[in-house]
Amino acid sequence: MPIVQVIVLAVVQGLTEFLPISSTAHLYLTSWLLGWNAEGLDFDIALHIGTLLAVIIYFFKDWLQIIGQGLGMRIGGDQELKHNHILLWLLVIGSIPVGVAGLALNKQAEGPWRNPFVIGGMLIAVGVLMYFAERAGKKQRDMASISGPDAVSIGLAQALAVIPGTSRSGITISAGLLRNLNREAAARFSFLLSTPAIAAAAGKAVWDMRKTGGMHALVAPDFLVGVAVSALTGCAVIAWFLHYLRRSGLLPFVYYRIVFGIIVLALAFIRRPA
């Protein structure tokens, strides 16, 4: 894959994975509109590893505290996390639905559902859901108050992210807002919950590559560039987005999704993908 294509798609991945606008939609449409061939398994792994590194690096201290407290250790740190000793196990519970959905629906998600009609429809549908969540949520609760029902609800929402165009962050942040979490807590829990899912997807992709004997691609220059660019971009986006949510809402992303979804559907009717 040409290095320019690697950098462009890695930046798109880093920008859109953590914003509630669907990374799958933007990667698919970028390649489709520019006439690029579909990304290979090695590049897909690079993007997964890059975004996984982004959440691990940014939330490294949080993860140390969450894991330590979950194993019964007394660890100082973030006060909201300190008052939720079972958060590790809530994240485990919340990760189960997406694991089941990924195993059951992976072929459809990577095959017939990966088309502009599904992507455009989901961009609009989840945009409408985000608008409702932004208006209806009371935004009164923080990370300390997250409970089992919250983890199950947000975890079930994350399972829908296997459908292209949904946006993992968009659907899970909306679920958090509907559970009356404040915007920052909803986004923070969303990103923490995404970590096991992204790690599992990356692990499966590496396993598939191992079975085909293509592990040498993991040290190729374009692979390493893809990992680095998506990780650095992802870290920057997480930091910016959490800061943004402390003072502003989701409505700009709602409008973006709906307009983008309409454009995608219009293009799908005008120009059928190959």
pLDDT for residue 223: 82
Q: Report the pLDDT value the prediction gives residue 57, as an integer from 0 to 100.
A: 95
Residue 80: what pLDDT? 93
Short-list 213, 221, 258, 253, CA closest to 237: 253
- Cα gap 67→196, rounded to integer Å: 13
Q: Is the pLDDT of residue 210 over 80?
A: no
What confidence category does residue 214 fall into, taking pLDDT thresholds of 50, 70 and 90?
Answer: low
pLDDT confidence of residue 215: 64
Q: Which of 155-164, 184-193, 217-226, 239-248 is the least confident region?
A: 217-226
Nearest to 9 by CA among 18, 19, 36, 20: 36
Residue 141: beta bridge partners?
Answer: 181
Cβ count near 99 (within 10 Å): 15
- Looking at every residue in the chain, the average pLDDT score rounds to 90
- pLDDT at residue 41, as a whole number: 53
Please, are residues 109 and 159 in contact by the beta-carbon 8 Å criterion?
A: no
In this prediction, residue 179 carries a pLDDT of 97
HSE-CB for 185 with a 13 A CA cutoff: 27
Taking only the tens place, the pLDDT of each residue in 86-134 is 999 999 999 999 999 988 998 888 788 888 899 999 999 999 999 999 9
Task: Say if residues 273 and 116 touch (Cβ distance below 8 Å).
Answer: yes
Q: What is the mean pLDDT of residues 208-228?
A: 75
Distance of alpha carbon 159 from alpha carbon 172, whole angstroms:
9
Amino acid making up residue 249: G
Counting every residue written for the chain, the total comes to: 274
Position 239 scores a pLDDT of 97
Res 273 pLDDT > 90: no
Q: Smallest Cα–Cα separation from 57: which of 3, 99, 6, 18?
A: 18
Q: Which of 26-30, 109-113, 192-196 has the highest mean pLDDT?
A: 192-196
Does 33 have pLDDT greater than 90?
no
pLDDT at 213 exceeding the cut of 70: no
Question: Looking at the predicted structure, is the pLDDT value of residue 209 above 90?
Answer: no
Lowest mean pLDDT among 35-49, 94-108, 148-162: 35-49
| Predicted pLDDT of residue 162 | 92
Q: Rounded distance, CA 10 to CA 23, Å? A: 10
Using alpha carbons, list the distances in angstroms from residue 218 to 47, 79, 223: 12, 39, 6
pLDDT reading at 42 higher than 80: no
Question: Does position 143 have pLDDT exceeding 90, yes or no?
Answer: yes
Query: Taking the CA atoms of the chain, what radius of gyration do you get in angstroms?
Result: 18
Question: What is the pLDDT, as a whole number, of residue 39?
Answer: 62
Q: Which residues contact 5 (CB under 8 A, 6 or more apart)?
A: 36
| Cα 221 to Cα 141: distance, rounded to the nearest angstrom | 45
35: left (phi over 0), alpha (psi -120 to 50) or beta: left
Looking at residue 38, its pLDDT comes to 61
Predicted confidence at residue 176, as pLDDT, reads 98
**What is the reported pLDDT for 87?**
96
* Confidence (pTM): 0.92
With 0-12 / 13-18 / 19 or more C-beta atoms within 10 angstroms meaning exposed / middle / buried, residue 2 is exposed
